[in-house]
Structures are given as C-alpha cells and as structure tokens.
C-alpha cells in the first residue's frame, strides 16, 4: 500500500454513523491500539486501494504477452513445503 510520510492533513471528511457502527469502530480501533480517527482512516484507505486494485492496467509488447501467456500454461513448480502441508490432516477433519 502506498503512503506519503509527510502528507499534510488539510482536508476534512465528516461522517454520520449509527451508535452501533460507532461502537463497533471504537472496539476495533481499541483492539489495534489506535485512536478511532486513525483506525477509520487506515481501514477506509485500505478499502479504497482494494476497490481500485483491479482497475490498474499495464501494456505488454507482443513478445512479452506471448511469454506471459506461455508461463501461464506451464505446470506449477513443485513446492516441497506445500506437499508436506497438504499431506497433513486438516484441523477441520
């Protein structure tokens, strides 16, 4: 997530929430050791980044695109730690 270290806070957002929503937000902020406003800013900024993440676009040359598509068709590399993990009995079984 991209942040700006010396970002001056000169803009304001006013919100109206229900008592239940405020209590929930306060409880969540306290569980993270944050002030309510810091928690709301952090959580909403993260949600905004996630909402926009799938809208990023990039361009590839024909050669790059061919290599990219070919790599998608290749079988995955074996990962011994994953094999070991999947061989274990699940905690849900």
Residue ranges per domain, the chain?
19-87
Q: Which CA distances in Å does 56 have to 49, 53, 59, 68, 90? A: 11, 6, 11, 17, 37
Could you read off the pLDDT of 19-29 as tens digits, one per residue? 999 999 999 99
Confidence of residue 2 (pLDDT cuts 50, 70, 90): low
Quick check: 1 and 42 in contact, CB under 8 A? no
Could you read off the pLDDT of 48-76 as tens digits, one per residue? 999 998 888 888 999 999 999 999 999 99
């Amino acid at each position: 997530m991209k942040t700006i270290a010396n970002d001056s806070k000169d803009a304001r957002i006013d919100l109206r929430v229900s008592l239940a929503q405020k209590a929930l937000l306060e409880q969540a902020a306290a569980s993270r050791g944050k002030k309510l406003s810091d928690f709301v800013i952090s959580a909403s900024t993260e949600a905004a980044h996630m909402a926009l993440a799938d809208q990023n676009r990039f361009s590839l040359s024909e050669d790059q695109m061919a290599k990219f598509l070919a790599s998608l068709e290749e079988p995955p590399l074996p990962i011994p730690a994953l094999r070991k993990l999947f061989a274990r009995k699940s905690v849900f079984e």
